[in-house]
Amino acid sequence: MKVAVVGATGLVGTRMLEVLAEQKFPVSELIPVASEKSVGRKVPFGGREWTVVSADEAIALKPQLALFSAGGGTSEQLAPRFAAVGCRVVDNSSFWRMDPSKKLVVPEINGDVLGPDDMIIANPNCSTIQMVLPLAPLHKAYRIKRIVVSTYQSVTGAGYRAINQMNAERRGETPAEMKFPWTIDQNILPHIDSFLENGYTKEEMKMVNETRKILGDDSIRITATTVRVPVQGGHSESINLEFEKPFELEEARALMAAMPGVTVQDDPEHNVYPMPLYAWGKDDVFVGRIRRDESVENGLNMWCVSDNIRKGAATNAVQIALKLLEKGLIA
């Protein structure tokens, strides 16, 4: 089928192409789309090179599927235009996620909600995806009352400019362009996305609102603190849960281990626990340091790590496309 990748030259777009190839997605014609300055560039895929085209050219080619990773403004303008020519859009920006008419999908959790009318499908925030995957079976079994999450997010989540800034700082050079308001190397920034009137950042509120939508439960109380760390790998999260029902620790561990896409790495005696350096390049979400929270009834702590560019973005988008294929919604 004809598959467009909008934002094909960006960090996530490049990874989308890799995952499409790895998953042997049936691409007969790739339509790479990028900004005007990148039109005419060559993008390797499937053993050949494809020429980057403009959005107008891509729409005229009427692809069956478009994977978007080009920012909210681009998605707002272009996703409806692609959809209007019969193209199903999987959008990685935040623009459509909380639209009540759009599905917000992590395929292992709620892929079955996809139907014929879903022309624009939202890919959740990277930090949300890796948190909800191990939490979904726990919520089903014990019902989560409250989540307290603190994230330790890689610079890769902020794109090429962020990586370049950190690497320049590590070399002792002045960055050509500053992605962050402060030095990131040897530093930690408790600031991801812009601040809101309530004192939280947009990133923090994404985790609150998206988690409720994906798990289908607006009653869950959630508070988040999102932090940028000088790591060029995956995102890490410290997650504290309070359940309505009592639980057995081994059962909770087994429920997470049985969840597709989750790997339990939890043997502290032998220093086995998830780390971003070793999650990088993998599609699973890794959980460990699983233990009771002894300060509250029915409380659980865990440490969660995932490659934010793969499962947190590109892989989840391609998995949504595979679900559409499986359900006969694209062909």
Residues tagged active-site = 126, 235
* CA–CA distance, 214 with 138 (Å, rounded to integer): 14
Radius of gyration from C-alpha coordinates of the chain: 20
* CA–CA distance, 95 with 122 (Å, rounded to integer): 8
| Residues β-bridged to residue 6 | 33, 68
* CA–CA distance, 151 with 153 (Å, rounded to integer): 6
Angstrom distances, CA of residue 29 to CA of 3, 124, 163, 195:
6, 27, 31, 42
* CA–CA distance, 116 with 86 (Å, rounded to integer): 11
Measured at the CA of 260, the angle between CA 88 and CA 313, to 5 degrees, comes to 45
Residue 227's φ and ψ, nearest 5 degrees, are -135, 135
Check if the beta carbon of residue 308 is closer than 8 Å to that of residue 156: yes
* CA–CA distance, 64 with 89 (Å, rounded to integer): 9
Angstrom distances, CA of residue 79 to CA of 86, 193, 206, 260, 261:
11, 23, 21, 30, 28
* CA–CA distance, 77 with 184 (Å, rounded to integer): 33
Length of the chain: 331
Angstrom distances, CA of residue 87 to CA of 17, 32, 117, 251, 303:
18, 15, 12, 43, 39
* CA–CA distance, 319 with 311 (Å, rounded to integer): 9
